[in-house]
Amino acid sequence: MKSSNITLVLRVWQGDITTLPVDAIVNAANPSLLGGGGVDGAIHRSAGPELKTYCAGLGGCETGQAKLSPGFALPSQYVVHTVGPVWHGGGQQEALALAACYRNSLLLADAEGVVSLAFPAISCGVYGYPAREAAQVAVNSLCQAFEDCHLSKQIWLVGYDQHQCTLWQEALAARP
Ligand code: ADP
C-alpha cells in the first residue's frame, strides 16, 4: 500500500525537453525506438549515438508501452521511451493508448527510483492527436497512476511553444 506522505507536484515548463536536468525525460518515440523526427530526433541528437545503439537492443516498443534507457550525453540520467497512438479520429481507442503511455512511463520511472520526470506532449506532433484533449488525458492518467507510485514525483509537463503550455495549464486547472 502506498505511503500517504509521498507527494505529486505537476508543473508546466516551456522549452526544449533535452535541456532539463531531471532524473528522466520521456521520449515520444516510434515503435522501432531507432529515432525519428520531432522530440525523438532532438533527444537522439542530444544524447549522442550511444542512445541509438542501446535502443537497438531493446527490441522495439508497442503503442502504449514504455522502455528505459540511460540518458548518455543528456543532462537527464534516463530516457523513458514510449510510443503514442497515431490519431485516426478518436474511434480506435487512441485515448486509452495515450493514457497507457503516461501511466506506463510513470510506473517504469518510479520502479527505477526516479523522482523528477519531464513529459513532452506525446502524440501531439506528427501523430496528430488533438492537443487539448491529449493534455486532459495526460493529466488524468498521471494523477491516477501516481496512486500506484512508491516515490514522490515532480513532473514537468513540457510545451515546446506557448500554446501547448496554455493547454497544459488548462488541463491542470481541471484536474480531478
Ligand atoms: P509524436 O510523433 O508523438 O506526435 P512529435 O515529436 O512529433 O511526437 O511531437 C510531440 C510534441 O513534442 C509536439 O507538441 C512537439 O511540438 C513537441 N516537441 C518537439 N520537439 C521538442 C523538444 N525538443 N522539446 C519539447 N517538446 C518538443
Please determine, for residue 2, whether its predicted confidence score (pLDDT) is greater than 70: no
In whole numbers, what is the pLDDT of the chain averaged over residues? 97
Q: Is residue 13 pLDDT above 70, yes or no?
A: yes
> Residues 81-103: pLDDT tens digits?
999 999 999 999 999 999 999 99
Give dist(CA 19, CA 10) in Å, integer: 18
Closest CA to 107 of 16, 14, 2, 5: 2
Helix (H, G, I), strand (E, B) or coil at 165: helix
Q: Cell for 143?
A: 494523477
pLDDT at site 121 = 98
Q: How far is the CA of 25 from the centre of ligand 1 (A)?
A: 12
Residues classed as catalytic: 40
How large is the average pLDDT for residues 64-93?
98
pLDDT of res. 104: 99
Q: Strand 153-159's sheet: what is its strand order?
A: 8-14, 153-159, 116-119, 24-29, 78-83, 66-70
Q: What is the pLDDT of residues 154-166, one digit of tens each?
A: 999 999 999 999 9
Ligand 1 centroid, distance to 156 Cα (angstroms)? 14
Task: Say if residue 175's pLDDT is above 90.
Answer: no
pTM of the full structure: 0.98
CA angle 158, 74, 143 (to 5 degrees): 35
> Does ligand 1 have an atom closer than 6 angstroms to the CB of 35?
no
Q: How many CA atoms lie within 13 A of 109 on its CB side?
A: 34
ipTM: 0.99
pLDDT category at 144 given cuts 50, 70, 90 is: very high
Instruction: Say yes or no: CB of residue 86 within 6 Å of ligand 1.
Output: no
